[in-house]
Amino acid sequence: MNQSKIELRIVHAVALSIALLAPYSPPLAAQTPRRSGGSVAIKSKPVLAEPLVEILNYGRVRDLNSENDRDQELRLRLYEVPREGDCVPDTHVVCSHHYYLAVSTFEEGLGESVFDLGEVGAIAEIQWLKPGKPLTARLKIRVVSYPEEYLKSNASLIRKEQSYELEITLEKLVAKPLR
């Protein structure tokens, strides 16, 4: 892995940890400014936020970019944490995923957040929709009850499918089920 990818993963991890730990600490604006650099002290404090630990150890990240980047004001990253289960008899396979959506702007200082989308079989399809409002992203997603490869190979699994329209801002995510 090259140096820039490592640095980018570190930046993602720090942003995600700040967002996940925000309920336990004062708002970023209320925190006292810190000097950057200058320290050489290594700490050994464990991170106790379970979602963050799982994301950093097992998660995969997908950058979600619109086909027309000029219309995209928010940077979206979908974190997927696999969950093993018994959806295929006598095996240990990934039967579902827990998803987190990290949201930020392309300009520093406008904010960032992370939304817990919950645990589903898989998000099988993602499509960008025209946003309509500033600093808003709209996606259409299709969710299935199990990963597609197991639905195809195991006839005993019951296929459930639901599509949603997501309206995403830095402050909130609204998921509207579609028929």
Q: Convert the pLDDT of each residue in 147-167 to its tens digit.
A: 988 888 888 899 999 999 999
Q: What is the pLDDT of residue 2?
A: 47
Chain Cα centroid distance, residue 123: 12
Query: What is the model's pLDDT at position 28?
Result: 43
The model's pLDDT over 25-78, given as tens digits with 9 standing for 90+, comes to 444 434 445 566 778 889 999 888 999 999 999 999 999 987 766 668 899 999
pLDDT of residue 62: 95
Of the listed ranges 80-84, 86-90, 155-159, the least confidently predicted one is 86-90
Q: What are phi and psi of 48, to 5 degrees?
A: -105, 0
On average, the pLDDT of the chain sits at 82
Using alpha carbons, list the distances in angstroms from residue 86 to 31, 142, 146: 45, 23, 11
Amino acid at 78: L
**Percent of the chain residues past pLDDT 90, beyond the cut:** 51
pLDDT, mean of residues 105-123: 90
CA-based nearest residue to 144, from 164, 167, 165, 114: 164
Per-residue pLDDT, averaged over 127-143, amounts to: 92
